[in-house]
Amino acid sequence: MSRMRWANLLAIAMLVVTARAGEPPAPTGPPAPLGEPPAHTGPSVPLRLTVPIEHGALDDIAVRLQLAEPQRVLVSRMLDAYTTDALTLIKASMPELTRLSQEAGAAMVPRYQQAHADRVRELEAKQTKLRDDVARLDANFLTHVETVLSEEQKPLLERLKLLRARQRSNREHCDVLSAKIDLTQLIKKYQLNDNMAETLDPVLAKYEVEVTPVMVRFDDEYRRMCAEFAQVCVDETAASTSPQGDRQKTDLELGQRRRNCLREQARLQSEIARINRAFVKALAEAMPEPHFSRFVTEYKKKAYHDRVYPDALDPSPVLQSLLKHRELSAGEAQAAAKLEQNYEQQYALVSSRMEEAFDGWREEFAGTLASTQDYQESYIPRMREWRLERWTLDKKIIEQVADIVEPPPDTAAARIVETYMRKHEKTVTNAEADKYPGL
């Protein structure tokens, strides 16, 4: 395994502890990370610590708990105290965490050394302890919050506890992309009216109860796996220099160790993804348009990013321009609608095959962290074939609707169609030599 892959495995640093409650959020850009480490130019193992302290936390808590203004003032003070204690604890831990991160990275060069596995094991143990210490502060904070709530508000606190538990479970490094998604947070971005929010809330409540324990278990299992997998990498490196006669048996043993090490965290990723897919369907069924399409589109863009969605040759804007060019007769409008319906059905069928293949491959990869023969001989050619099939459908629907509308050559609609066709030809030609779908 390459050093880059091991760095990706350990994932992006998720130390996103920022402003205290009551302070205005930064006007632009993401929150600044806490405790900038000393200047370091050598390799290091990224830290993985996620803490539910963020801009707008008080506003979010106030909405979720339906706080009156006097309650909000009291909770604001409690949140300030929690934030101060959590930041103090984390800042005090950062020098040692940074040292271990750098020592673990240094022991990867020029090849994996035993010190790498030792430092990663120590690093994961200390990060886990810090996460648990902050979780205890968080639990204490929520216990104090409960004292200012009415009996009607207290059930809402249970869902806030689940949310903060999910926020502490670091899933940015998931190989199954849909396992990274928290549907409650995804749907939060939509400005739902009261009636729709009331309709979706029971579905979300059931989702949170089902998915939160799995996300928490995944975080625990992933931390355990990181420490164990570091040792596997060291042993694989040592085995690469062993006598050739011993290699076959050693490779088989190490391959089994790798699979055993990765199995449970891969299974939990698959379980989170399965829960998400089930509840996406349930939530979508409860939504009217245009919320339904927007929500499903947003979910799929995150779950199948750059592999299935977005479509580089999406014909929707061109179709809209064509259909606005002139008023169609009843017969023409009916014909165009039938063509679009047929296109959408065929497109959805091909896309569902791509989604299923991508999900299957990513779940397999999560359990091996290696390319397989099936990936090379089956997955890649099928995904490339389906991508081209969708692009062919995209072009065909434009041609069919253009035949109905018949925009004159010098009109904006005709120029838009012509531009699309040139883009289509160029994209298909360039795709012949690209690396799609990648890992």
C-alpha 299/C-alpha 181 separation (Å) is: 8
pLDDT at residue 42, rounded to an integer? 67
Mean of the pLDDT values across residues 125-152?
Answer: 93
CA distance 50 to 334: 53
Q: Residue 279 is part of which domain span?
A: 172-303
Residue 49 predicted with pLDDT over 90: no
Average pLDDT, the chain: 86
Same domain? 16 vs 155: yes
Would you state the pLDDT for residue 253? 82
Is the same domain home to 293 and 358?
Answer: no
- Residue written as tokens 């539910």? 52
Same domain for 355 and 421: yes
At residue 41 the predicted structure's pLDDT band, cuts being 50, 70 and 90, is low
Residue 191 in any domain: the answer is yes
- Condensed to tens digits (0 to 9), the pLDDT of residues 167-187 reads 888 888 899 999 999 999 898
Q: What mean pLDDT comes out for the span 390-396?
A: 98
Any residues with CB less than 8 A from the CB of 237 and at least 6 apart, and which?
111, 112
Q: Does 326 fall in a domain?
A: yes
User: Does 354 lie in the same domain as 241?
Assistant: no
The last residue of a domain, from among 245, 280, 303: 303
The reply to whether 155 and 178 lie within a common domain is no
Confidence of residue 55 (pLDDT cuts 50, 70, 90): low
Residues 26 and 154 in one domain: yes
| pLDDT over threshold 80, residue 242 | no
For the segment 249-293, what is each residue's pLDDT rounded down to a tens digit?
677 788 888 888 899 999 999 999 999 999 999 998 888 888 888
In a domain, 332, yes or no: yes
CATH number at residue 358: 1.20.120
**What residues contact residue 76 under an 8 Å CB cut-off, 6+ apart?**
21, 22, 58
72: left (phi over 0), alpha (psi -120 to 50) or beta: alpha
- Residue 75 forms part of a structural domain: yes
| Average pLDDT of the segment spanning 117-131 | 92
244 and 267 belong to one structural domain:
yes
The two structure tokens encoding residue 169: 């479970």
Residue 25 has pLDDT above 60, yes or no: no
Q: Is residue 438 part of a domain?
A: no
Q: What is the pLDDT of residue 19?
A: 27
In a domain, 203, yes or no: yes
36 pLDDT tier (thresholds 50, 70, 90): very low
Q: Is the pLDDT of residue 16 over 50?
A: no
Domains in the chain, number: 3
Give CA–CA dist 352/358, Å, rounded: 10
DSSP string, 17-55: --PPTTSPPPSSSSPPPSSPPPP--S--PPP----S--T
- The answer as to whether 293 is a domain residue is yes
Percent of the chain with pLDDT over 90: 62
pLDDT at site 294 = 85
Where does a domain end: 275, 303, 331? 303
Residue 385: pLDDT over 70: yes
Higher pLDDT, 284 or 56: 284
Q: What is the pLDDT of residue 254?
A: 82
Query: 6 pLDDT exceeds 60?
Result: no
CA angle 324/329/333 to nearest 5° reads: 65
Name which of 23-32, 120-129, 156-165, 261-270 the model is least confident about: 23-32
Same domain, 156 and 272: no
Q: Does some domain include residue 436?
A: no
140/309 Cα distance (integer angstroms): 43
pLDDT at 201 over 60: yes
281 in the same domain as 324: no
Q: Are residues 202 and 133 in the same domain?
A: no
- Shared domain for 1 and 143, answered yes or no, is yes
Residue type, 115: A
Tell which wins on pLDDT, 293 or 30: 293
pLDDT beyond 90 at 7: no
Residue 213 has pLDDT above 90, yes or no: yes
Which pLDDT score, from 0 to 100, does residue 249 have? 65
| Res. 15: pLDDT tops 80 | no
- 326-368 pLDDT per residue, tens: 899 999 999 999 999 999 999 999 999 999 999 999 999 999 8
Q: Is the pLDDT of residue 214 over 80?
A: yes
Domain termination residue (choose one: 121, 140, 168): 168
Query: What gap in Å lies between CA 112 and CA 90, rounded to an integer?
Result: 29
Q: 416: left (phi > 0), else alpha (psi -120 to 50), else beta? A: alpha
**What average pLDDT score do residues 149-177 get?**
92
Residue 241 shares a structural domain with residue 277:
yes
